[in-house]
Structure 1
Amino acid sequence: MSHKIITIARQFGSGGHEVAQKLSELLDIPLYDRSLVEMAAEKMGQSPIKVEEVDESALTTFLASYQISKEPNSVTGYGLSLNDSTYVTQTIIIETLARKGPCVIVGRCGDYVLRSYPNLIDVFLCASIEDRTRRIMERYSFSKKDAINAIKSTDRRRKTYYENYTHRKWGSIDSHQMLFNLSRLGMDKTVDIIKRMYERP
């Protein structure tokens, strides 16, 4: 496979989805973000609402033993929690999508799943708490307090999920090829840098 794949990990409210969307449009390649939830749900024979609840979430080992589904999963069978089943299923989907052609994949440990892929462009996006709070307040009509709480809880969930399944540190330069601070670079410049990397022979 000679085509390139872009994976984007991100802090909540940093603008990760917007960056991915702009790259998808400019490069004319598919974007897979929340659609991975629906694809996983369909493959597992589960409700998208159920899968949405555990998306990018990991249970502690203690809790997982109490969360084993009593219904068989069409991909993983019996014995795994819905959280683990979702991770395994999304991993299979991400690997399949990567084989099909170039694309942008947001979250879901995409960088780790495709870590051996030779043409991977793996980035982590962050931004100041002020910019992230403002973006979440505007997007969801949250109060400042609710926006900050949402940022803290979502980042904590994503961090736990990533570190549980990859055994790497979320948001670390040791875990990702590149880190971009959108508060410093801005949306357009960040998109342009990643786009140039993608287009480079």
Structure 2
Amino acid sequence: MKKNIITVSREFGSGGRTIGKTVAQRLGIPYYDKELVKQVALESGFDPKYIEEQGEFAPGKTHFAFSFLGRGVPGVMGGMTAADFLWTIQHNVILDLAEKGPCVIVGRCADYILRDRTDCLHTFIHASMDFRAHRIVRLYGESEVAPEKRLQDKDARRRINYKHYTDREWGMSQNYHVCLDSSVLGIDKCVDIILDLAENCPDPTE
């Protein structure tokens, strides 16, 4: 049973974004990451930078976040916070993208939003702390904050955001079809495994 839509959730520094992009390139299908942010920005009127950051942070409790937006935005709708308004737009954008055809979607709770579709393969990429720490220093450079602390903080924000909107535990294996350790398997092997599953996933009803 071919899986046309692949969602990639990932720990920071695990290479999940690289894996997702490579999978999309090899399948010749659209890849949505920054592109998804741009689409949400277009439909919401929010600044793209704010949208990108909001997806990594715990949701706000007040409307105060509107004060920090860089572009004109619609009024608060139905008493929703900025975070909840963005979630609604993001939710609908992801559903629309999935309807358009095969694609790879990175992050943004796409595994949860598309959980009822049978043509999806939901993946989670994780890795050891050492692997991820070395990787973010190589890719993003040194910072005054230790790499381990950067990893812990960013993953904590993702975990809280995911829990808030899905009521599920981020990274728990039961929420995904496959969880891959890129520090053991390597980036290329993770790509190969996902490609094989996407093309040759058995039909559980048979």
Would you call these one fold, judging by a TM-score over 0.5? yes
- The farther-off stretch of 83-92 and 137-146 is 137-146
Distance 1:69 1:79, change over 3 A: farther
Pairwise CA distance, 1:53: 3.1
- Give the 4+ runs in structure 1 shifted more than 6 A: none
Q: Could you tell me which residue of structure 1 aligns to residue 148 of structure 2?
A: 148
Q: Could you tell me which residue of structure 2 aligns to residue 28 of structure 1?
A: 28
1:175 aligned to 2:175? Answer: yes
Equivalent pair of 2:56/2:154 in contact (CA under 8 Å): no
Structure 1, unpaired ranges of 5+: none
Equivalent pair of 1:69/1:79 in contact (CA under 8 Å): no
Q: Could you tell me which residue of structure 2 aligns to residue 67 of structure 1?
A: 64
Amino acid at match of 1:49: K
Equivalent pair of 2:3/2:199 in contact (CA under 8 Å): no
Alignment of 1:28-107 (within 5 A): 28-59=28-59, 64-67=61-64, 69=66, 73=74, 77-107=77-107
Pairwise CA distance, 1:126: 0.1
Aligned length in residues = 196
Amino acid at match of 2:41: A
Q: Could you tell me which residue of structure 1 aligns to residue 128 of structure 2?
A: 128
Equivalent pair of 2:3/2:121 in contact (CA under 8 Å): no
Paired residue secondary structure (2:174): coil
Q: CA RMSD in A?
A: 2.2
Structure number with higher relative contact order (C-alpha < 8 Å, ≥ 6 residues apart) = 2
> Residues of 2 paired with 1:157 and 1:52: CA distance?
13
- The farther-off stretch of 65-74 and 120-129 is 65-74
Paired residue secondary structure (1:58): coil
Q: State, as a whole percentage, how many aligned pairs show the same letter.
A: 36
TM-score by length of 2: 0.87
Superposed CA offset, 1:86-142 (max 9, x none)? 211111010000000000000000000000001110010000000100110011111
Structure 2, unpaired ranges of 5+: 202-206
